[in-house]
Homo-oligomer: A and B are copies of this chain.
Amino acid sequence: MSATRYTYLGPAGTFTEAALRTLPEAATRELVPMASVPAVLDAVRVGEAAGAFVPVENSVEGAVTATNDELAAGTPLMIYREVLLPIAFALLVRPGTTLADIKTVTSHPVAQPQVRRWSSAHLPDARWEAAASNADGARLVQEGRFDGAFAGEFAAPLYGLDVLVSEIHDAANATTRFVLVGRPGRVSSPTGSDKTSMVVWLPEDHPGALLELLQEFAVRGINLMRIESRPTGGGLGNYCFLIDCEGHLSERRVSEALMGLKRICPKVRFLGSYPRADEGEQSSPRAGTSDEDFSEAADWLSRCLDGRGEL
């Protein structure tokens, strides 16, 4: 039944599955791998799944374009959770293989730049070929078509392989960010350390609009955590922006900023307020921007209208 089903970008044994399993609720859901980001999300749109789990950005490779474009267009969806997963690759081999035996390796193309330096140093002569996914690369090693696969360590038992080398990553802190997406619903309560996501279309023929948009956040002391431009499809030079800011839509500073965007932009799509996964970095709102400050100011305004502003 769909209420217990989560789709995710498959196949099984990829980092996406590993990230999904860090969510406690995943233990009680039926987890269904699907072949593409649109397929994963469409399952939620048509009601065949309650949640969809997809990568959204990688600290080395950047935005996952397919996810951004799906969130910005089509039937609306909302983000309910995010997961950050440090990315480290393992070199998986058939039992008995040594480094010297490896003539061919495979991985998903996105993985390649992240292991390139390690490969140059330790496997200078091995030839790399693309696999449809890291997990699929492991399968191809199992079948004997390659000697080694770069994949998540957790993929080894699924394919009867050994971990020859672990913790391979050229960039320290390589991290992928995933989101759990569902059909739009009531925004859950703030946790005190939240993030809000949206897509904003700039007005055309208004070159200063991006600056105005950023000032709606700045004037209310809200830090941006991510800003990605995407073409709108309306010709070169027309962009929408996927923005993550700190704070929760139920906070006054955030809601006022979003209403400001709504007033100056032709279109704003709210993508959800949800707990931040990067614990420990939450800063308290800038002086004058807490909900209490907003309430006091609203009370003062009411008194002003009655001629009692000084009370």
Among B58, B184, B218, B263, contact of A309 (Cβ-Cβ < 8 Å): B184
A104 within 8 A of B: no
Decide if A301 touches B259 in the complex (CB within 8 Å): yes
Decide if B310 touches A260 in the complex (CB within 8 Å): no
- Identity of the chain B residue whose Cβ is nearest the Cβ of A233 in the assembled complex: B171
- Type the 1/0 row for A259-277, where 1 means its CB is closer than 8 Å to any CB of B: 1101110001110000000
Decide if A289 touches B263 in the complex (CB within 8 Å): yes
Among B58, B63, B229, B307, contact of A186 (Cβ-Cβ < 8 Å): B307
Decide if A62 touches B62 in the complex (CB within 8 Å): no
Q: Which residues of A73-132 have CB atoms within 8 Å of chain B's CB atoms?
A: 76, 78, 84
CB-defined contacts of A262 to chain B, threshold 8 Å: 296-297, 300-301
Decide if A269 touches B59 in the complex (CB within 8 Å): no
- Type the 1/0 row for A57-78, where 1 means its CB is closer than 8 Å to any CB of B: 1111111010000000000101
- Type the 1/0 row for A230-251, where 1 means its CB is closer than 8 Å to any CB of B: 1101111111000000000110
In the assembly, what is the distance between CA of A305 and CA of B238, in Å?
29
A212 within 8 A of B: yes
Decide if A260 touches B219 in the complex (CB within 8 Å): yes
Stretch in A6-14, A19-27, A42-50, A203-211 touching the partner: A203-211
Q: A residues touching B (Cβ–Cβ < 8 Å)?
A: 57-63, 65, 76, 78, 84, 171, 173, 175, 177, 183-187, 207-208, 210-212, 214-216, 218-220, 223-231, 233-239, 249-250, 255-256, 258-260, 262-264, 268-270, 278, 287-289, 293-294, 296-298, 300-301, 304-310
Q: Sample 10 A-B pairs with CB under 8 A, ordered by A number.
A: A171-B233, A186-B306, A210-B214, A215-B215, A226-B237, A236-B278, A249-B305, A250-B305, A262-B297, A268-B300
18 new A-B contacts at CB < 8 Å, known A259-B301, A262-B296: A57-B231, A59-B236, A61-B65, A173-B235, A175-B236, A177-B236, A183-B307, A184-B307, A185-B307, A186-B305, A187-B306, A216-B219, A219-B260, A236-B278, A258-B304, A259-B300, A263-B288, A263-B296
Pairs A-B, 5 closest by C-beta atoms = A184-B307, A207-B223, A259-B297, A263-B288, A173-B235
